[in-house]
């Protein structure tokens, strides 16, 4: 199970995939973000190879300026606020979780993430921990 997420000040968006995240998954996620958020997007992301693929670059170029990209410095995971989503999920929402079957392996974390989305102070804490200024 792999997750991809985007965090805004007031919400975060995520998508789950059964395989490792690759460029086609990034394009699917960006396309969904564009449908949900009707304005320009500033995407700040790390150096994951899937973010740098030609498929992703071509998709971004096809959006005619609707997506702007900024990259985080290499070896600075503490600057990535999405990393704090994953840390919170692993340490506070899913410790000792043992899936009974494949369905619950995806369903339980999905429900926890949806619940986390409703906790606005938690979302702000992810931003504060990242020390990014905006």
- Quickly state the pLDDT bin for 134 (edges 50, 70, 90): low
Question: What's the pTM?
Answer: 0.86
Contact in structure between 36 and 29 (CB atoms under 8 Å): no
- Please enumerate in sequence order all residues whose Cβ is within 8 A of that of 27, keeping only pairs 6 or more positions apart, or say none: 55, 56, 59
Domains of the chain, earliest start first: 2-130 (3.30.420.10)
86-106 pLDDT, tens digit each: 899 999 988 888 888 877 778
- For residue 134, give both structure tokens: 């905006």
Query: For the segment 8-64, what is each residue's pLDDT rounded down to a tens digit?
Result: 888 999 999 989 999 999 999 999 999 999 899 999 888 888 999 999 999 999 999
């Amino acid at each position: 199970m792999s997750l991809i997420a985007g965090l805004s000040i007031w919400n975060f968006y995520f998508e789950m995939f059964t395989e490792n995240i690759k460029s086609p998954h990034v394009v699917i996620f960006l396309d969904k973000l564009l449908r949900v958020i009707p304005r320009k997007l500033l995407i700040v992301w790390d150096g994951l190879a899937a973010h740098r693929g030609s498929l992703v670059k071509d998709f971004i170029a096809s959006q005619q300026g609707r997506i702007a990209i900024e990259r985080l410095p290499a070896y600075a995971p503490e600057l990535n606020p999405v990393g704090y989503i994953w840390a919170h999920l692993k340490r506070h929402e899913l410790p000792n979780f043992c899936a009974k079957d494949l369905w619950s392996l995806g369903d339980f974390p999905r429900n926890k993430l949806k619940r986390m989305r409703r906790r606005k102070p938690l979302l702000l804490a992810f931003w504060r921990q990242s020390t990014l200024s905006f």
